[in-house]
Amino acid sequence: MYTHNYDFRNRDFQYTPRLTPTPNAAEKAPCRMDEDWEIIAPVSHGDADSAAVRLTRYFTGDLVRFLTDAFGICLRLRRVEDVTPWLNTPHKKIILVQEEAIMPSPLTSDMAGAFHITVTEDSILIVGKTERGTAQGVYYLEDCMKLRGECALPLENAEHAPLFSPRMTHSGVELDTFPDNFLEACAHSGMDAIIVYAGHPDTNLHGFTDPEGLWPGSGRQYCDFANLVWRAAGYGLDVYVYSHILCDMHPDEPDAPAYYEASFGKLFRTCPGIKGIIFVGETFEFPSKDPHTSGIRCQLKPKDEHRVSPGWYPCEDYPRLVTLVRDTIRRYNPQADLIFWTYNWGYVNKDARLALIDALPRDISLLVTFDMWETFIGKNGQPYRIDDYSISFAGPSCVFVDEAERAKELGIRLYTMCNTGGRTWDNGSSPYLPVPQQWQKRYEALCQSHEKYGLAGLMEDHHFGWLPSFLTLLAKNAFMTNGLPGDEMLCRIARRDWGSQWEKAVEAWRLCSEGITQVVAANIDQYGPYRSGPTYPLLYNQQQSDLQIPKVEWAMHGGFAIWFPVYADAVLPDPAKTLLRYGHVQFVTDCFRRGLALLEEALQVLDAPYGSEISRQTANVRYIYCTYITTCHVIGWTIAKKLLKATLAGEDIPAAGELYEAIGVTDRTIGGLAKYLRDIAAEETENVALALTCWEEDSSIGFEPSMEYVFNPDFAAWKNSETKRSLEQMEDEIREK
């Protein structure tokens, strides 16, 4: 079987093959459906192209298709003017209605996605707050049957309401691209909004190089925002735009209203159906007058200017820009949700950050990152910090707590960036991180923040996007009232996917979850091997300008844009920091090794076919394991290279004994170090070959929407060629000395 790039896009993310009962079906389920049942739904009145009518048409048809595909049961769908007679005689009926058809309503929640479900031995009634709620009730019904593997349900009489809205996601299949099957998957996952970049009133950022763009390498192409809004609404999804729009005029300038009308005003005038817009410092920079900053956005700042650019500081005049843009947008959409994200200045002192929040208008939403900037003490006593997105720490961070408390005091609606789509920079090129026990801790922390601070909405990923995985139902269950306890839901998912071997899967996930807690989320690795995976090179003397990596010209962050191939670890001036990361990643690697071994044992017992769901799950764990092996090799290679170069130069080596011991080299000569480097190179070449088997099984491995592919056969060949060149450079240098 030969794999091609992007093969994963050919999947139907909602496809349901014939289901067979799982160990979950051992529990008695009194409600058992057969072909004598019917689906009853009200006739949809109004414009046939309205979102409500299209959504109703979708979810009723979806249920019919699901039952047919999963169980071979083809039920009649009856649309009726008045559901009352059917409510009075519900025998062998699945009745799908909105709350206005049921008086009094069984619903207490005001959330649009809320629903009440009543399951008896011979009937099912789903009452949605709106059409979106009824749709979620249908998907809940399908999820329950998938977990059991049979067309049967336990009795239930309960309301289920989302704790968070919006639940927003970027596209995981391609940057700013939302095919219908992906929109379906978003809706089924419980998400209710998508995010698309806006680089101009009618362009997004998936295109070719644009020298006039905010980031010159981030190309633009035409985006029909109105059509995207229309299509998404048919699946019960809102559309948020993420601003990359130039803001090169201070809001106090006389021409500022006209300037911002020509961009933000035009965007919302052309497409008032956009639900809201996200602003973050690094792409919402303006010529601030705050003296803490250069007043020049980062792309234009002179190299000799040492003050930060405005996007990386809570400038005192940001509120004036936010207010002007808010007023511009709300002329066309009075309910537009303006989201101001504080991501870029978490390093700044608390007083300055909170002073900015105090000055913001109260009728916007504040987005605060859940996990970043927290500091820990490592196993060797050295401090380290979460520099960027990580699930190593469940959260919330002190920065989040500070800003959440202030938002609550001021009555500002609070959102968080939480990565609960399943992906972080702990591994930038795997489709999701299979650490469900650790994710569950984050879900619980988010729910606690909902209670404590009024946390209302979630941004579930950044440009790395989201793809469905076994984590999807775990998150959906956690973020809805009256869900199952997290541990119970995880076991049910394991039994659904792994059958008789489910306990091995749960233990494997536990080991991976234990490992991920020891990841050191430092920039040097998150912008290094963690982001590029096994592609990350073992360099000797090469500089970045010497490296010609495969890339495609349409990638937003192609080539080395957001990862740096020259490993920036000096080692010798401060070896304790290097040894901290080395010790931690070795522990992480061992945890994933043991987890992978359990999954591979389970696969053999189940005799699962190549490319099956559980085979792909195993390939993903294997790929992450390979990434952490690469990181171990990169750090070990860097230590040995520094020791070798210092020895060749006759220089003193601080903490030499500790460094030699860490990499396991007993022959402390030039020959001993050279042998170690050759051995590492050989082991890493084998590791790259193992990682390739993962990509061959699932082409979503090695792909990230903004970078495009960073690992596949082309990257593997490039990596191996650089390894060979590095060894040649080493041998030449030794001979010269």
Does 251 sit behind a cis peptide bond, omega within 30 degrees of 0 on the bond before it? no
Predicted local confidence at residue 476, as pLDDT: 98
Tokens encoding 140? 């809940």
Token pair listed for 67:
């039952």
Query: Under a CB-based contact definition with an 8 Å cutoff, are residues 159 and 108 in contact?
Result: yes
Per-residue confidence (pLDDT) for residue 513, from 0 to 100: 98
**What are the structure tokens assigned to 660, written together?**
């030699």
pLDDT of the residue at 2: 67
For residue 416, the surrounding DSSP H or E stretch is strand 413-417
Q: Is residue 142 part of a domain?
A: yes
Instruction: Tally Cβ neighbours within 10 Å of residue 410.
Output: 14
pLDDT, the chain, mean: 95
Measured CA to CA, the distance from residue 132 to residue 190 in angstroms comes to 10
Domain that holds residue 545: 513-736
673-732 pLDDT tens trace: 999 999 999 999 999 999 999 999 999 999 999 999 999 999 999 999 999 999 999 999
pLDDT score recorded for residue 574: 86
Which pLDDT belongs to residue 403? Answer: 98
Q: What is the DSSP string of 276-320?
A: EEEEEGGGS------TTB-SS-TTT--TT--SBPGGGS--TTHHH
Asked if residue 579 is part of any domain, the answer here is: yes
Provide the CATH number for the domain around residue 92. Answer: 3.30.379.10
Domain boundary at 132, 160, 188, which? 160
Measured CA angle at 39 (ends 36, 44), to 5 deg: 155
Give the angle subtended at the CA of 52 by the CAs of 50 and 57, to the nearest 5°.
Answer: 95
Strands 708-709, 413-417: pairing is unpaired
Q: Are the CB atoms for 133 and 100 separated by under 8 Å? A: no
How confident is the model over 207-235, as pLDDT tens digits? 777 777 777 666 678 889 999 999 999 99
How would you classify the pairing of strands 375-377 and 383-385? antiparallel
Residue 534 covered by a domain: yes
The segments of the chain whose pLDDT lies below 50 read none
Bridge partner residues of 338 (DSSP): 277
Intra-chain end-to-end CA distance of the chain, in Å: 49
Q: Is residue 411 part of a domain?
A: no
Instruction: For residue 425, report the phi and psi dihedrals to the nearest 5 degrees.
Output: -80, 5
Which of 106, 136, 160 marks a domain boundary? 160
Rounded to an integer, what distance in angstroms lies between the CA atom of residue 610 and that of residue 637?
35
Q: What is the pLDDT of residue 217?
A: 61
Cβ pair 313, 345 in contact under 8 A: yes
- Local structure of 482: helix, strand or coil: coil
- Last residue of some domain: 145, 160, 175? 160
The 10s digit of each residue's pLDDT in 45-71 is 777 789 999 999 999 999 999 999 999
Q: How many residues does the chain have?
A: 737
Number of domains composing the chain: 2
> Are 198 and 249 spatial neighbours (Cβ–Cβ below 8 Å)?
no
Say if 698 falls within a structural domain: yes
- Is 363 domain-assigned? no
Query: Does 115 map to a domain?
Result: yes
- DSSP letter (8 states) at residue 165: S
Q: Give CA–CA dist 523/521, Å, rounded.
A: 7
- H/E segment holding residue 459: strand 455-459
Q: Cα(727)–Cα(732) distance, rounded to whole angstroms?
A: 9
* SS3 labels along 347-386: CCCHHHHHHHHHHCCCCCEEEEECCCCCEEECCCCCEEEC
Please tell me the predicted confidence (pLDDT) of residue 220: 72
Check residue 1 and give its pLDDT. 57
Which backbone phi and psi does 37 adopt, to 5 degrees? -80, 160
pLDDT for the residue 216? 64
Cβ 405 vs Cβ 397: under 8 Å: no
Examine residue 50 and state whether it is found in any structural domain, yes or no: yes
| Burial class of residue 216 (count of CB atoms within 10 Å of its CB; 0-12, 13-18, 19+) | exposed
